[in-house]
Amino acid sequence: MSIVVHEIVDVDDRLVVSGVAHSIVDIIEWSHEFVFPSANVIAQSVDDIDMPDRFDVASSLSLLAQNVRRVLAMLREAGVVQPQQNPGVALETIAAGRWWDERVTQDDLWRALWLVARHVPCGPMDRYNLLRPGTLMERAERLRLNVDHVTEIANFRFSE
């Protein structure tokens, strides 16, 4: 497994390294043995998902997008989210279910998952939880739990 480093910048006596891995990696531990950044990593397996499971994931992502739109609308009405923070056409398309058919690929599912996750109004720890290693289906389930949690909080706080 290799990681291509694009940039190393010294910011406030800390190194900021940006690069691209050829697969999804989980950093286990940073190594201090070398003068350059080094880490022990585990490459995550990206198993291909069966077609029926792809439809299940795509359908659940569409339902999640609908729930995210509903929560964002509730928060806009309560004045918590500004009207100009419109989630845009992509979230609308996923919510409507018009983005997938029999040609849906695993890459399409990953893109949809992250697009929906980007619009969930949650804190940094919840976002970090979504970045934990796992399969697409495990991350979709964590996203669902996150959306459910945000929905419960919004309903409790802003419903009349």
Say if residue 72 is in the same domain as residue 105. yes
The pLDDT of residue 160 is 64
Say if residue 25 is in the same domain as residue 61. no
User: Which of 133, 125, 110, 127 has its CA nearest to residue 26?
Assistant: 133
For residue 8, the enclosing domain spans 3-43
Q: Quick one: residue 84, left, alpha or beta (phi over 0 = left, psi -120 to 50 = alpha)? A: alpha
Residues 6 or more apart in contact with residue 102 via CB below 8 angstroms:
51
Residues 6 or more apart in contact with residue 47 via CB below 8 angstroms:
135
Distance CA 39, CA 101 (A): 40
Residues forming a β-bridge with 16: 9
Instruction: Give the number of other CB atoms < 10 A from CB of residue 39.
Output: 13
Most confident of 15-24, 85-94, 137-146: 137-146
Residues forming a β-bridge with 30: 39
Total tally of structural domains belonging to the chain: 2
End-to-end CA distance of the chain: 54
Q: What is the mean pLDDT of residues 36-65?
A: 77
Say if residue 16 is in the same domain as residue 57. no
The pLDDT of residue 5 is 80
Instruction: Give the number of other CB atoms < 10 A from CB of residue 155.
Output: 11
Say if residue 76 is in the same domain as residue 12. no
Maximum Cα–Cα distance for the chain, whole Å? 59
pLDDT in tens, 72-110: 888 888 888 776 556 677 888 899 988 888 888 888 888
